[in-house]
Amino acid sequence: MKNCILLLLIQSSFIFAQAHRPNNSIYLEGLGVGGKYSLNYERIIEEDFSIRVGFTAWTESFNGVGPYTAIPIMANYYLGFGDGGSKLELGLGIEYAKTNGHGLLLGQPTGWSVFGASAINYRYQPPNGGILYRIGLSQLFDKSEIIYIPGISIGMYF
């Protein structure tokens, strides 16, 4: 009987510990794949893999493009640096974007377009949740051109 109770306690503490592992992030990115800025939600699927979706929209021209609306969707792979929260983040995905009025992005006419997107970032996220930071270099590309955009992010990991 003692062994059954001990086994039950060990299993329940293991399940409880896994249930509280943070898997979600919400962050604001300056520059990066969203261009001027973007608000992003990210869900960690596996310990080293996540899916991200963001949104950006601005009405004034920025770098000769605008008004602009975009939805970046990316898959990210993480390479960890030891047991801490530091990670190398490698992202690949698409950006569904619309320019309204004037300006060309990657040679596309105004209206809705789809671009390739990639990113290489340093990411710090506390193992048990808290404030996360990202800094790196993103790329938007199509079959004929690549635009490099540095970026920095801050948000919550919960």
Q: Which residue has the tokens 């996540």?
A: 50
pLDDT at residue 47 in the model: 84
pLDDT at residue 6 in the model: 53
pTM beyond 0.95, yes or no: no
pLDDT band at 95 (very low <50, low <70, confident <90, very high): very high
Residue 34 has pLDDT above 50, yes or no: yes
Residue 86 has pLDDT above 90, yes or no: yes
110 and 100 Cβ atoms separated by less than 8 Å: yes
3 vs 69, residue with greater confidence: 69
Domain residue ranges in the chain: 24-157
Residue pLDDT, tens place only, 120-144: 999 999 888 999 999 999 999 988 8
CATH node for 24-157: 2.40.160.20
Tokens, residue 121: 């970032």
Query: Mean pLDDT, to the nearest integer, of 26-39?
Result: 94
- The CA angle 96-98-104, to the nearest 5 degrees, is 115
pLDDT band at 158 (very low <50, low <70, confident <90, very high): very high
Which phi and psi (to 5°) does residue 12 adopt? -70, -35
Query: Mean pLDDT, to the nearest integer, of 10-18?
Result: 51
pLDDT band at 33 (very low <50, low <70, confident <90, very high): very high
Q: Where are the alpha helices (DSSP H) in the chain?
A: 2-19
pLDDT at residue 84 in the model: 77
How many angstroms separate the CA atoms of 129 and 125, rounded?
A: 7
Query: Mean pLDDT, to the nearest integer, of 136-156?
Result: 93
How many angstroms separate the CA atoms of 29 and 38, rounded?
A: 5
pLDDT band at 16 (very low <50, low <70, confident <90, very high): very low
